[in-house]
Amino acid sequence: MELTLWTYEGPPHVGAIRVAASMRDVHLMLHSPQGDTYADLLFTMIEREGRRPPVTYTTFQARDLGSSTAEMVVNSLRESAERFKPQVLMVADSCTAELIQDQPGALALGADLPVPVIPLEMAAYTRKENWGAAETFYQLVRGLLSRQAPPPGSERPPRDANTRPSVNLLGPTKLGFRCRDDVVEIERLLNSMGVDVNVVAPLGASPQDLQAIPKADANVNLCPEVSDLTCSWLARTFGMPTISTIPMGWGATRDFIAEVAATLDLDINVDAVGESRLPWYSRSIDSTYLTGKRVFVFADGSHAIAAARVARDEMGFEVVGLGTYSRERARDVRAAAKEYGLEALITDNYLEVEAKVQELQPEMVLGTQMERHIAKRLGIPCAVISTPAHVQDYPARYSPQMGFEGANVLFDTWVHPLIMGLEEHLLHMFRDDFEFNDSVGPSHLGSEGEGARAQDTSSGHQADDGAVVWAFEAEKELKKIPFFVRGKARRNTERFAVEHGLTTIEVDTLYDAKAHFSN
Amino acid sequence: MSSVIASSVGEHHPGPQTQERGQRAVFCGLTSIIWLHRRIQDAFFLVVGSRTCAHLIQSAAGVMIFAEPRFATAILGERDLAGMADCHEELDRVVSELIARRSGINRLFLVGSCPSEVIKLDLETAAAKLQVKHENRVRISAFSGSGIETTFTQGEDQCLKSTVAELPALGASEDNLIVLGTVSDIVEDQFRRLFDELDIKNVHFYPGRKAGDLPAVGKGTRVIAAQPFVGETARALIESGAELISAPFPLGAEGSKAWFEAAAEAYGVDSERTQQVLEMPYQRAKRAVSVHRSKLEGKRIHFLPDSQLEIPMARFLSEECGLSVNEIGTPFHDQLMMRGELARLPQDVPMVEGQDLDPALARVRAARPDLTVCGMGIANALESEGLRTKWSIELVFSPVQGFDQAGDLAGLFAKPLAREEILEVGSWS
Ligand code: SF4
Ligand code: SF4
C-alpha cells in the first residue's frame, strides 16, 4: 500500500485509451466500473477533443458481480462491433475488472465477433499509464503485422534506387506533450532532407495504416515512452533499423539529422537542412544573465534528458537536479545525470520532488504540471516541459518542442518566466527610487513569477521553523534586497542561522550567509 | 444504491417514465470528496483503492488545486492483493504516517473503492481498530465511494450516513432543524439569516464546516434537504426519530421560497410573517432570474444523467425560465427526495432513470435540443456536433442554492446560449 497525494501517471488502461483515442477505426472495450469513465474528460477537456474517445466501458455494478459481468463483456463487445464497425477491437480490464477475472480477452476471442480482436493485459497493480500505452501499441502492431513477418534471419532487401527513402514516426499520441506539433515539425524536417514519412502512429493512424509500417526503411522512435517496445520488435522481426536520437533542442536536432542520414545512407550537409534562432538568441548579450542559472529538471524520461542538454549546452544554465517519475526510464536518466555530475532523482512521489526542490533552491524549474505547483509555492520561476500537463499546455498556436522551430519555442518558453536581463539591472538601479514600487514587479511576468512576491509577504519577525528570529535591523536590510531574490535570501539566511546554531539574525548574519552561499 | 431505488414513498411522475440499463457515463462516489473536503475543513479523506481512483479525483478536481490536499489514496499493490502484506497492517502504517504529517486533522474518513470492495477489505472494522489506536487524537470512520456501489454525488450520502450513528441524542423537550446536504459557506450564512428572521432556532447544517459540528437528532428533529442526493442519510435520520420536511429544493426564486415556506410551516411560523420575511429576497431573486429569461425562454433543454440534480433543475428552468424540457435523464430516481418536486414538473416530460450511453446520445442527436446538460466527458463531443451544452459538475461545485444565487443559476444555463449569439467565428453546426 502506497500513500499517494498526486499521481504523475494514470493507470495503464488510460495508456490504452490514449492509443485508441489517437487512432482511427479502432475501438476499445474496457471492462470497468462506471467511475472509470472519467478518462473521457482527459481527452475532451484537457486536449479539447471534439469526440469521445472510442471506448465502451462495461460499467458493471455490485449487483452484477458473480453473475452477469461476463455476459456484460460479451454484450458490450457485440454492440461495439456492431455500432462502431472498427477495423480492430481491443479488449482490456481496468484495475477492478482485473480482480474479478472474467478474462475479457478470452471471452472476446471465443465470441466469434465479426472483427479482429486484440486482447490486452494491463497489469493495473504494477504498471502505469505510459507502460500501458507502450504495451497497447506493441500488441496492436504485433497483432497486425506478425503474419507479414519474413522468416527469421532473412536479409532486408535493399531500397530500390528509384524510390525516395522513407521512415515511420512512431510514438506520438493524444495527451502526449505537444505531439501534434512535433509530428508536423519533424515531418517537415525529414521532407527537407528528401525523406518521406511513411506512417505516423499511433497518432492519426488506422489499423490499415499500421500494416504499411514495414514498407519504410527505418523507424523513428520519437516518443520512447510509447514506442520503444514496438521499435525493438520491428527491428528484430523485420530488420528495420531504429533512429533513436530525440530531436529536441538545436544540437539534438542536428544529431538527429546526422543519424537519419547515416541510417538511410544519405549524403546530407547538416547545415543546409534548416536553422534555428536559438544559437544566436543565446549568444546575444541580453542572454548573458542566463549564465549559470541553476535549474532543476524533472519530467518523463525523454523530456528530462533532452531538456538537461538544452539547459546546459544551449542556454548556459547549470543543471543542479535531474530526475524522472518514469521507472521504465530510470536507467537512461541515471546515465544522463552522471554526465552532469548528479545523482538522478527517480520517484513518483511528488512530495519527494518538492523536498528536493526546496533543498536545492534552484533559480528555475523545468518540470510537469506538478512541478509548476511546487515552484509556484516556493516562488521559483517554472516552465512546463512534459506530461502530465494541464489544458493551458495544449495551446492553440503551433508550438512544437522538437526540430529547429521547437528549439525556438524552448528558448522563448524557458526565458519568459525569468527576469529579462537588462531589466534586472534597471530594477537594481531604481529600487530605492521613491516612485518605484518594487512589489509591482515586471509587467511581462504573469502568474508564473508571482510566487516570488507572494512568498515574501510573511514579514513576521519569526522564521518559518520558529527557531530563529530576525532582528529589526536585519529585517530592514532584507527589504533592501530586490524582491525577486528576497525570498531566497530570507530562506538561505534562516538556513544558515539554524546550521550555525544562531537564534537571532543580525545584519551581519545576513551578509555572512550571503558570503557562505555565494561560493 | 438499491435501498434508494426501492423507496416506498409513492408519489410518481405522471409523465412517461422508463428505465435504461447499459453503459453509464457518470463518475463514481469518490468524486464527492472534492466538495466534501472543502466543506469540512478539518477532515481528511483517505481512499483505499487503485491508481485509477487517485487519478479520478485528481482529474475531476482539475489537477492540483491545493498544494497538499486533504485527500489522498492508499494505492493497493500486488503485495496487498496477493496477501503477502496484511492490508490492515499496511493501512495502519499509512494512517499513522498521515496523522503524523497532518496535525490539523480531526476527522479521518477511510473511503472504500471498487478494488477494496471486490477484495472484501472491511474498512469499517479497520476504522474501528484504528480508532482505538488514535483515540483522543482523531475520529476515524469509513464509507464507500466505490463505482460499483455509488454514482457521483452519492458519495456524499454515504459519507453523511456513516456519521449518523455518532449524532448525539436530542433531549426529549428540545427541537432542532437539520439542513441536509453540502451547501457552500456563503449559502449557509444567507440561510441562517433568513431562519433567524423566521425565528427558527437551533438550525444545523449537516455537514458543517467542522467535522465535530454534529447535530443532535431525536423526536424533535426536523430535516430539510438542501441537496437531492442525500436520501439514505435522510432515511437514517428518519429512523432516529426525525421528520423529513417535504419541499422542493432551494433552487431558483420559487424553489427557495417554497423551501423556506415548508420549513416555516413545519415550525408553525405565522404565514404573514413568513411572507414578510421572504418577500424582499424573493423579489430580488425574481429580478435576477428575469435578467436571463430572454436568453432562455422557449428554448429546449435535455438532461443526461449525472449529478442527481436533473429533476430540480428541470423544474426550475421550466417553471421560472420558460424552457421546455425534452428529456430528464437521472442516474436514479429517489421518490422520497423528489416528492416536493414532481408536482411542479410539466406532466408530459419523459423521464429516464439509469443510462445506456449510446442510445441516449442518439436521442440527443435526433432531438437537437438548444441545450444539453451533461458530464464533462461528453460536453465537447456534443459541442463539436453543433449542440450547446452545460456541464453539470458546475452545478455541484458552485453555490447555486437560495434566493441570492437564483440569478447565477439561471446565468449558468444562459451563458452557453449567449455565447453562441456573440461569437462571429467558425460555426457550431
Ligand atoms: S469506479 Fe471504482 S475503481 Fe474507478 S475510480 Fe471509482 S472507485 Fe476507483
Ligand atoms: S517588463 Fe516590459 S520593459 Fe520589462 S522586459 Fe517585460 S516587456 Fe520589456
Q: What is the pLDDT of residues B94-144, one digit of tens each?
A: 999 999 888 889 999 999 999 999 999 999 999 999 999 999 899 999 999
For chain A, which residues score pLDDT lower than 50? Answer: 421, 436, 444-460
pLDDT band at B1 (very low <50, low <70, confident <90, very high): very low
pLDDT at A405: 98
Per-residue confidence band for B3, with pLDDT thresholds at 50, 70 and 90: very low
Report long-range pairs for B261-264 (Cβ below 8 Å, ≥24 apart). Answer: B262/B224, B262/B340, B263/B177, B263/B195, B263/B198, B263/B200, B263/B222, B263/B224, B264/B198, B264/B200
pLDDT at A480: 81
Percent of the residues in chain B that have a pLDDT greater than 70, as a whole number: 95
8 A C-beta contact, residue B392 and residue B402: no
Cβ–Cβ contacts within 10 Å for residue A151, how many? 5
Residue with C-alpha cell 432562455? B296
Nearest-Cα distance to chain A for B113, in Å, is 9
The mean per-residue pLDDT over the stretch B311-329 comes to 97
- As beta bridge partners, residue A243 has A220
What is the DSSP secondary structure assignment for residue A394, as one 8-state letter? S
Ligand nearest to the CA of A425: 2
Closest CA to B146 of B33, B305, B21: B33
Portion 27-86 of A in contact with B at CB < 8 A: 33-42, 44-45, 48-52, 56-63, 65, 76, 79, 83
A402 DSSP assignment: B
- Summarised one tens digit per residue, pLDDT across range B53-106 is 999 998 887 655 555 789 999 999 999 988 877 889 999 999 999 998 888 899
**DSSP letter (8 states) at residue A388:** S
Within 10 angstroms of residue B322's Cβ, the number of other Cβ atoms is: 13
For residue A300, the model assigns a pLDDT of 97
B303 phi/psi in degrees, rounded to 5 = -110, 125
Distance from CA of B359 to the nearest CA of A (A): 10
Contact B72 A5 (CB under 8 A): yes
How many angstroms separate the alpha carbon of residue B28 from the centre of ligand 1? 6
Q: Does A349 touch chain B (CB under 8 A)?
A: no
pTM: 0.90
List, in sequence order, the alpha helices (H) in A265-349.
Answer: 270-273, 278-283, 301-309, 330-339
A355 in reach of chain B (CB within 8 A): no
pLDDT at B5 over 80: no
According to the model, what pLDDT value does residue B83 have? 80
Task: For residue B428, name the pLDDT band (cuts at 50, 70, 90).
Answer: low
For residue A452, the model assigns a pLDDT of 40
- pLDDT value at position A453? 40
Residue A419 to residue A442: CA distance in whole angstroms = 8
Q: What confidence score (pLDDT) does residue A477 get?
A: 87
Contact B221, B178 (CB under 8 A): yes
B400-421: pLDDT as tens digits: 999 999 999 999 999 999 999 9
Contact between chains at A4 and B54 (C-beta distance less than 8 A): yes
| Cα–Cα distance for residue pair A133/A139, rounded to 1 Å | 10
The answer to whether the CB atoms of B380 and A58 lie below 8 A apart is no
Cα–Cα distances in Å, from A491 out to A498, A503, A519, B110? 11, 15, 17, 37
Distance separating alpha carbons of residues B422 and B174, to the nearest angstrom: 56
The H or E element containing residue A440 is none
Contacts A94 to B, Cβ<8 Å: 52
> Does residue B309 register a pLDDT over 80?
yes
Please identify every residue of A annotated as catalytic.
286
Question: pLDDT at position B426, please?
Answer: 77
Among B188, B163, B316, residue whose Cα is nearest residue B249: B316
Residue B348 phi, psi dihedral angles, 5° rounding? -95, 10
Whether the CB-CB separation of A380 and A362 falls below 8 Å is answered with yes
Interface of B with A in 322-381 (CB under 8 A): 358, 375-381
ipTM metric: 0.93
Angstrom distances, CA of residue A303 to CA of A42, A59, A326, B383: 21, 36, 11, 34
Mean pLDDT for B19-44 is 93
- Residue B399 has what pLDDT? 92
Residue closest via CA to ligand 2's atom 5 equals A420
**The C-alpha cell that represents B389 in the structure block:** 451544452
A444-466: buried (b, 16+ CB within 10 Å) or exposed (e) per residue?
A: ebeebbebbbebbeeeeeebeee
User: Among candidates A357, A378, A381, which has minimal Cα distance to A293?
Assistant: A381
Whole-angstrom CA distances from B80 to A7, A50, A126, B90, B314 are 19, 40, 11, 8, 46
pLDDT in tens, B184-220: 999 999 999 999 999 999 999 999 999 999 999 999 9
pLDDT tens column, B219-230? 999 999 999 999
Phi and psi, residue A85, nearest 5°: 40, 55
CA distances in angstroms from A93 to A69, A84, B354, listed in the order given? 12, 20, 23
**pLDDT value at B287 more than 90:** yes
